[in-house]
Structure 1
Amino acid sequence: MRIHFTPDDLLHIRFADEPAPLLELAMALATLHRPASDPVFTRWRREAARELPGHARPLLELIPPCGRGPQFVDPVVPDVQEGFERVAATSAEQVRREMARVAGFGQAPTPWTRRIAARDRAAWSELVTGLHDAYDSVLTEPWRRLRAGFHAEVAWRTSRWGRLGLGAGLESLLPGSRLDGLVWHMAPEKHADFHLDGRGLTLYPTATWSGPPLIATAPDDSKLLVYPALTPLPLLPEPQDADPLGTLLGRTRAQVLEALAEQRTTGNLAQDLGISAASASQHATALREAGLVATRREGKAAWHGCTALGAELLRTGAR
């Protein structure tokens, strides 16, 4: 498996900004019935399989153990509700294209997946319901750990790249890979060439997958490289609740400020922290009035993010 860069592509290598809930779910479901998964997932696989709701089980017919399922089930968006809406709105043409691609990997069709391919309304209702149930069962509890692990991985990788350089930084993502000129050689068990042609490469670490790297398309049309994060889900610790900021601002408001180190909509904020949208808006407003948060509007969405003062307060609290 080789990725071919142009010189311009090397200037457009970046990490994804946020984990995508439905992409994480697809990787988790592939891992759940992947016999070759890292042994560290053994207990997690057993427990997740036992607790997976009946409505979610047909998803295992759609998402194969190799992880290369149809891309319409795992849109790369950070808002889980938007992800569900995108799945439901998938065009018939995209469904046909993706189901044909998956069939090319040797995934045998079943009566249910044939109905999915035919865009049968009842089957698609079952698909969306199954995704909701699977997300609630598999990812709701560990989501804070997954998200914290994602950002810890990205922070650690980017800090090392300044010392390692681009080539060694890329090679460190996938031990055994090598960058030879403008070609990155990886995953020798695969036979595929991907030409970026100036579109760039987005790197996405996932703690729910231990298999070989996977290639998809990011929302900005760059290639998306999904690779196993350094720390897999079963080993991710609970995020630390250090409390200097909690003492100053109150625990929930401190969590809101910490979350807004990355820009979020009010809905994203509510989802990530497990609070109501009204509460998220109230906390963001209080922080904005204190000069710690700035808000901008795009259509009906309000995007919030730390100001320089808020970021400095976060750095001071972390120290």
Structure 2
Amino acid sequence: MLRVHFTAEDLLNVTFASEPLPLVELAMALIAWQRTDEQAVFGRWRGRVGRELPVRTRPLLDLLRPDGDNPQFVEPYSRTLEEGLAAVRDAAPGLDPGALPRIAARVPGSPSWVRALWGRDRQAWAQLDGAIRCAYEAVVAPHWPRIRQSFQADVAWRTRVLAAHGIKACLASTHPLAGWSGTAFEVAVAPAYEARLGGRGLVLTPSPFWTGRPLLAEGPEGPDGPAVLMYPALTPLPMVEQARARGALDALLGRTRAAVLQLLVEQRTTTELARDLDISLPSVSEHTRTLRAAGLITTERDGKAVLHCATGLGVDLLHQTG
């Protein structure tokens, strides 16, 4: 379980990141590609990335494993690719020798390249630079407008939740198993990790690639500055439509998911939604799962039927964006 303890000062100092960051999103994309969850959403995207990802990116994949527990120096909080690459190079003298055995043990095959990296071998660092550039151009750069769209839509939505229902509801909406125990934010998903913010505050950062539980990390100002909580964006990248949205709700949720929510002003079954929207049952299930995780709909069983209906929060959203 993830457990993050807030003080009163922390609860008053929760903010949103201002924009997505290129190398952070690159790391999340490569991690998402290696994961096996959320197949209904990411399955086809993973297949396409697997076909398009150049061999030169292999060194970066050695460092970025699917669980997200990775060396932070390869995902710096930099606003451009070039700034990020400079930050990666500047990290060489400060690499923690104690982390090397853990990283080396996770590398498929021989860890000699990683050991050379920790030994500040010039060729190894040039290899890493090339791998990052190559991966960025293949996986992130062509989709940057959609990445920003997903990021901005999520921040807009959770800002509404924060204003209407408070910080606890806002944070609880970041994962289906998230909740609160007193002033401790909890997500009931392994592995166990506990942290105390101690008045530093927290920056919330949605990622359209991340599919696991929220990740807590040290922020760009180090241990004395706000921590960063990265969580799955409301609309993951494969579901961000490339066509221009027709309205505020489409921009926030995506056209199909917005249509699902609009239909659920009245209770409907999964089968009825699939029929009315002319989409597959698995697609309906994926849309309703995400809407439910955001607190916009409820779902209950009635015999063999699965019934969905908009919550008060979902109806409020429809009124505000109509």
* Aligned twin of 1:294: none
Distance 1:75 1:85 in 2: 10
Is contact 2:179-2:186 (8 Å) kept?
A: yes
Q: Where does 1:164-175 land on structure 2 (aligned, <5 Å)?
A: 164-175=165-176
Distance 1:183 1:30 in 2: 28
- Provide the secondary structure at the position in 1 that maps to 2:95: helix
The alpha-carbon distance between structure 1 residues 163 and 103, as it changes in their structure 2 partners (threshold 3 A), is: farther
- Provide the secondary structure at the position in 2 that maps to 1:205: strand
Distance 1:236 1:103 in 2: 36
The alpha-carbon distance between structure 1 residues 101 and 10, as it changes in their structure 2 partners (threshold 3 A), is: farther
Is contact 2:104-2:111 (8 Å) kept?
A: no
Distance 2:98 2:77 in 1: 18
* Aligned twin of 1:181: 182
* Aligned twin of 1:117: 118
Matched, 1:209 2:210: yes
Is contact 1:170-1:179 (8 Å) kept?
A: no
2:228 to 206, 224, 228: 224
Where do 4+ consecutive residues of structure 1 move more than 6 Å?
none
Matched, 1:240 2:244: yes
Q: Which amino acid aligns with 2:128?
A: L
* Aligned twin of 2:261: none
Q: What displacement does 1:97 show?
A: 5.3
Residue identity (%): 40
Q: Which amino acid aligns with 1:94?
A: L
Q: What displacement does 1:60 show?
A: 1.2
Cα displacement string for residues 8-48 of structure 1 (whole angstroms, at most 9, x for unaligned residues):
11111111111011000001111111223543111111111
Q: What displacement does 1:69 show?
A: 1.4
Q: What displacement does 1:204 show?
A: 0.7
Structure 1: stretches of 5+ with no match in the other structure:
243-317
Distance 1:13 1:188 in 2: 23
Distance 1:223 1:107 in 2: 28
* Aligned twin of 1:246: none
Range with greater deviation from structure 2 (112-121 or 2-11): 112-121
Distance 2:232 2:18 in 1: 16
Cα displacement string for residues 158-212 of structure 1 (whole angstroms, at most 9, x for unaligned residues):
0122112221111111222112221011143121101111111111100011122
* Aligned twin of 2:132: 131
Cα displacement string for residues 235-283 of structure 1 (whole angstroms, at most 9, x for unaligned residues):
11126288xxxxxxxxxxxxxxxxxxxxxxxxxxxxxxxxxxxxxxxxx
The alpha-carbon distance between structure 1 residues 53 and 228, as it changes in their structure 2 partners (threshold 3 A), is: same
Q: Which amino acid aligns with 1:5?
A: F
C-alpha RMSD of matched pairs (Å) = 2.3
Q: What displacement does 1:145 show?
A: 0.5
Q: Which amino acid aligns with 1:232?
A: P
- Provide the secondary structure at the position in 1 that maps to 2:141: coil
Distance 1:211 1:237 in 2: 22
- Provide the secondary structure at the position in 1 that maps to 2:168: helix
- Provide the secondary structure at the position in 2 that maps to 1:64: coil
Q: Where does 1:1-319 land on structure 2 (aligned, <5 Å)?
A: 1-96=2-97, 98-99=99-100, 102=103, 110-220=111-221, 221-238=225-242, 240=244
Q: TM-score, normalised by structure 1?
A: 0.71
Q: Which amino acid aligns with 1:88?
A: R
Aligned length: 243
Q: TM-score, normalised by structure 2?
A: 0.70
Cα displacement string for residues 204-234 of structure 1 (whole angstroms, at most 9, x for unaligned residues):
1000111222121121331111111111111
Cα displacement string for residues 123-150 of structure 1 (whole angstroms, at most 9, x for unaligned residues):
1100011000000000111100101110
* Aligned twin of 1:299: none
Cα displacement string for residues 63-111 of structure 1 (whole angstroms, at most 9, x for unaligned residues):
101122110100012222111111111132235355456468x566722
Distance 1:239 1:223 in 2: 35
Range with greater deviation from structure 2 (79-88 or 212-221): 212-221
Distance 1:226 1:239 in 2: 27
Is contact 2:215-2:230 (8 Å) kept?
A: yes
Distance 2:99 2:6 in 1: 25
Range with greater deviation from structure 2 (217-226 or 25-34): 217-226
Q: Which amino acid aligns with 2:191?
A: K
- Provide the secondary structure at the position in 2 that maps to 1:58: helix
